[in-house]
Chain A
């Protein structure tokens, strides 16, 4: 066997496996996924849930979208954020938006 035959067979095989995973696995998993999504969506709609249950240690990490505007300092104005998951959350958009006035009228910019 020529080396190029072996190479083409190996890369072709790997390409085939990758294509199989990318196209085939989502199809194989579709039933389970759809069933789970339907259950989750039903629960979200019925209970009016607003957030994913990722970190439950504080109210501003449990309900990220509903937290106070100053959630990092919520115990008192100079208190620093002390929960580990806070290290994995982005700063509020209002702090990162260049030139954005604090407490501005844009309702959409006050993310915790």
Chain B
């Protein structure tokens, strides 16, 4: 066993500097978030979670809705406690970016590479993209990357704590995306592949699975306490998934999957059995595919590339031991450049999911706003709209009409009896099963207004 000093996390050389960097980054990233909204880039998912938090804390609970106020618990909890998505992404983004900076500085040697990577992490628009617009998915995948790191360290140093940290990371991943449960057989297979002995594999699997299984068993209990019914923890499995989701997800993730396979091939070439756990990165494409299929929203390629970059940054010390430096270092630098360019491209050509009609609504532009006003005229006093939250949705934020949607105009309320209208929106390239959505809500209580 390695008797050198065992650090559970890679050592941050200077904690004061780390915290100073984080404290500087928090206001910078928060301001960047506000600025991006004013420029028309909207963190749709974060606004959605903020809305859910508002619903959840208004004193009542949505029932019979796939989007519960208590799920996904980790994301939701943050918004219950802190409300403002810009601040949340600023704080979490600052910690992630700050940690990655110091993680890179702990690399041995390679000053040029360290400079390139630190510059990329701090200045690249792709990182800004990750923390401001895909924070949830970024945190989710980074937990996965660190889970992999911990398995590697456990294999290398045989220190128990690493295995337990891996388990906690996987447990935390469940609290963001419950569908990670699907990944568990892959995990156990991977453990067997790494440790090669059945007895050991089973014990390690039990340790690793404890947090995620605890979460999967206990969270429905919390939901039951709050909502009164034991709801399906994996609601996305309760409906049919069209095959075009799979093809679209593959299409979106294809390039990145190729990148991971190439990385795996390079690692296999090294034939260094010590790094078998590193092969766990092959799980990432599986996760990406699963996400695209199950979450109705494939992670855009311009997000997957910087995520691949983050994964490479975390795994770099191990890759350095497996792959020849004259191959690896240039490859990493090229990847950093590609990731930066993809970020710039995204900023200049944001996808619809970033500049949805809701952005226009928030800014009070014409067009859709007028149309919503027409719909509102049909709504009686005291009646409220529930909009399709899979495409456009009401974001419930502070009641500041100059920057956010006003609560009473577009909000869905947590109190089912007050909801009368459903606005079902389905632009052409969305994945919404409009018919299924409207069928679910077409009851005596609701009137559905379909818009194309």
Partners in one complex: no
A interface residues, Cβ below 8 angstroms from B: none
Q: Which residues does B use to contact A, with CB under 8 Å?
A: none
